[in-house]
Amino acid sequence: MRLQFLGTAASEGIPNPFCKCEICEKTRSLKGKNIRTRSALVIDDVMQIDLAPEFSYQVMRENVDVTKIKDLLFTHTHPDHFNVGDLFSRMVDYGFNITHPLYIYGNDIAINGTLAVLPGYSKERFVFNLMVPYQTVTTSSGYQVTALLSNHAKWEFCFIYLIEKDGKTMLYGHDSGYFPELTWQWLKNSGKKIDLAIFECTYGYKHNDRTDNHMSIETVLSAQKRMLDDGIFHSETQLLTSHHSHSSGFMHDELVEIFKPHNIEVAYDGLIKTI
């Protein structure tokens, strides 16, 4: 699998345009890997997870041909992940020379919310698939995808995704605090070994290794330990953090130094990883 990080920020982005904190001001000056757009990921040029508000800019910046994407997975419907208005540009008479439909996967709110902004859509352009927690589906591009419950918003099923293809397994683990026990038990009992995982790390230090809603630095380390203890991670598993916020209080290089002793990589916009 080839993973391309389109964005790695939490909901405000870094810098937050309405913020004058030290992190945002330093980022405006230093730029580079400190600049983060809202979180989204492309896998093998054919699958995307979440649609950020900066979608059009991200794919132009990274030279991604999104007409190749066949599967779009939504984790939940918070606006930094659910910019479905841009999908109207894929409708008939708006996007031309498109040869396949886009298969959209998500919870009921995501499916209905997308349908609401695509009136009169055609099946040649969009196909909708309701995801059920802990049930595995085969996507249009041949991936095995399992939606697992996360520990995030209380008014909808929010998903993290286990994705498998060609003997490789990855976990897209945000938005979520310390995972719900049902998810931990499913991962342990499934017998699956994860080759690469992405945890979100929105919070900085919280003096709490089981935070709700989002992960703290301590929660990332605690979840990594449990993954290893339960045999879900193997000795060569790659772990990365993403979905970072200016409110964590750390610049990119500082996060790198914090996680380096734990063999955890800090993702940045445009990073490409393979497994």
| pLDDT tier at 112, thresholds 50, 70, 90 | very high
Domain coordinates in residue numbering, the chain:
2-274
Q: Is 213 left (phi over 0), alpha (psi -120 to 50) or beta?
A: left
Residue 24 has a pLDDT of 98
Tokens of 40: 């989204």
CATH number of 2-274: 3.60.15.10
User: pLDDT tens across 4-55, in order?
Assistant: 999 999 999 999 999 999 999 999 999 999 999 999 999 999 999 999 999 9
Whole-number average pLDDT of the chain: 98
Mean per-residue pLDDT, 225-231: 98
Angle in degrees, CA 233, 7, 31, rounded to 5 = 115
pTM for the whole thing?
Answer: 0.97
| pLDDT given for residue 170 in this prediction | 98
One-character DSSP codes across 117-146: TSTT--TTTEEEEE--TT-EEE-TTS-EEE
Identify any residues that bridge with 255 across adjacent strands, giving them in sequence order: none
Question: How far apart, in whole angstroms, are the C-alpha atoms of residue 31 and residue 88?
Answer: 32
pLDDT score of 124? 96
- Looking at the chain, list the stretches that DSSP marks H as alpha helix, in order from N- to C-terminal side: 22-30, 55-61, 108-116, 181-190, 217-229, 252-259
